[in-house]
Structure 1
Amino acid sequence: MLSIYLVCVGRLKERFYQDACAEYLKRLSPYCKLTLLELPEERLPQSPSQGQIDAALEKEGQAIRSKLPPNTSLVCLCVEGRLRSSEELASLVQTWEHNSAKHLAFVIGGSFGLAESLKAEAWVRLSMSPMTFPHHLARVMVLEQLYRAFKINEGSNYHK
């Protein structure tokens, strides 16, 4: 069974989003072993310098790496990532299934994004939209799109 991680910087506090994530985790259980990891966002001053931001992102990047097993392919969600359709994501998931990597991790950064070094390691850089979404909504969106990808790959009519 596929091993997928959803790594999120920042805590999910709102019950509505927790329930939505739980629903998709349940729906995904026949298709993969999905682990949701939440990591704390580094605290920064009110108006941080770029140096402070970069240092915090590197520290978050190290924390992300430390939580993932070896042979993990990263999918970094970032502004400069490529927009992909649901069908393209389904194809990526299918391609990854035939890859030698043992684990796949979708990574959602905090309010300042992800460290450049982490994005440089990514198997894929993915953009959900040119619009900005709250991080807690991005989690639900990624989980739903993963579920949709598996349904597309099995030929289900869920995608219609």
Structure 2
Amino acid sequence: MRVKIISVGKLKEKYLKDGIAEYVKRLSRFAQVELLELADERTPDNASDKENEQILFKEGQRILSKISDRDFVMAMAIEGKLISSEDLSTSFDQAMQQSSTLVFIIGGSLGLAPEVKKRANALISFGRITLPHQLMRLVLTEQIYRGFMIREGSPYHK
């Protein structure tokens, strides 16, 4: 199985890079992991709704260009279905029945374009709080690892 994490924006913080690298290393026994970091659009202070729509559209086009028709896509969205670690683990089975590639998407500071949400097989949320998208990468990577460990019956999840 392949796991692809597509995220908008550059990750600069070393401690987050180190944490993500650790979980990617751990995940390598379950899946081939690919991290794709896409450029974000500069968002002016006090941007109009129209400007925000244009920014989301451009970022959305970049995201969609990295997804194939065969990929099973789970997009992180605050309005998505609130799921537990166990739910995420169970969703891997569904994804593997439909595709050999499971794609996770983390949008930029404005979220995700409607076109990306429409393409997703599932919109998921880890809670109603807002996390910086850079921190969300670490949280998501850990949760993917946790999901595989749950499937394995490992005590890691306790």
TM-score, normalising length: structure 1: 0.95
1:7 aligns with 2:14: no
Aligned-pair identity in percent equals 41
Among 142, 146, 158, the residue aligned to 1:148:
146
Summarize deviations over 1:107-159 as a string: whole Å, max 9, x none. 00000000011101111101111111111110011111100110110111111
Residue 124 of structure 1 aligns with an amino acid whose one-letter code is A
Q: Which residue of 1 aligns with 2:45?
A: 46
For the residue of structure 1 that corresponds to 2:105, the secondary structure is strand
- Following superposition, the deviation at residue 4 of structure 1 comes to 1.1
1:81 aligns with 2:80: yes
For the residue of structure 2 that corresponds to 1:158, the secondary structure is helix
Q: Which range moved further: 83-92 or 67-76?
A: 67-76
Summarize deviations over 1:15-36 as a string: whole Å, max 9, x none. 0000000000000001011100
1:53, 1:159 → 2: CA distance? Answer: 39
- Following superposition, the deviation at residue 68 of structure 1 comes to 2.7
For the residue of structure 2 that corresponds to 1:148, the secondary structure is helix
Residue 153 of structure 1 aligns with an amino acid whose one-letter code is R
Alignment size in residue pairs:
158
Alignment gaps of 5+ in structure 2: none
Q: Which residue of 2 aligns with 1:68?
A: 67
**Pairing 1:1-160 to 2, within 5 Å after superposition:** 2-99=1-98, 101-160=99-158
1:13, 1:70 → 2: CA distance? Answer: 31
Summarize deviations over 1:5-64 as a string: whole Å, max 9, x none. 101101100000000000000000010111000011111222111111111111111111
Contact preservation (8 Å) 2:2, 2:101: yes
1:38, 1:81 → 2: CA distance? Answer: 22
Contact preservation (8 Å) 2:84, 2:126: no
Contact preservation (8 Å) 1:25, 1:34: yes
CA RMSD of aligned residues (A): 1.0
Alignment gaps of 5+ in structure 1: none
For the residue of structure 2 that corresponds to 1:132, the secondary structure is coil
Residue 115 of structure 2 aligns with an amino acid whose one-letter code is S
TM-score, normalising length: structure 2: 0.96
